[in-house]
């Protein structure tokens, strides 16, 4: 299998806790500093466009799992605080095509 699957499993084991929220709530928690990262697959640009602005305006970093900025073809998200985004992206890059 893809090494990114193993990396995602390792990340889940390393974090204090994981949680799933509604479509928008976790991005607001990230923007307010209450959580440190959001990882999603199978998204649509219409669901995340405004959320990407909220996260980046709050000082976070928002990309897909290949490190690309949101666009019409975006299907995955890695949104995190500035300190965590690059290390997480290094481990997850290519997880979703």
Q: pLDDT tens, 48-61?
A: 999 999 999 999 99
Q: What is the pTM of this model?
A: 0.81
Q: Which residues contact 82 (CB under 8 A, 6 or more apart)?
A: 59, 60, 61
What are the boundaries of each domain within the chain?
3-92
- Identify the sign of the CA torsion 30, 35, 39, 42: negative
Each residue's pLDDT, cut to its tens digit, for the chain (97 residues) gives 567 677 777 877 887 766 666 668 899 999 999 999 999 989 999 999 999 999 999 999 999 999 999 999 999 999 999 999 999 999 998 876 5
CATH of domain 3-92: 3.40.190.80
């Amino acid at each position: 299998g893809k090494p990114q699957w193993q990396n995602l499993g390792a990340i889940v084991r390393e974090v204090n806790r994981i949680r799933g929220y509604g479509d928008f709530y976790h991005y607001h928690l990230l923007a307010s500093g209450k959580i440190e990262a959001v990882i999603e697959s199978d998204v649509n640009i219409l669901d995340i466009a405004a959320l990407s602005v909220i996260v980046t305006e709050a000082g976070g970093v928002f990309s897909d799992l290949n490190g690309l900025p949101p666009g019409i073809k975006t299907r995955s998200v890695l949104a995190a605080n500035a300190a965590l985004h690059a290390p997480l992206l290094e481990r997850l890059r290519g997880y979703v095509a």
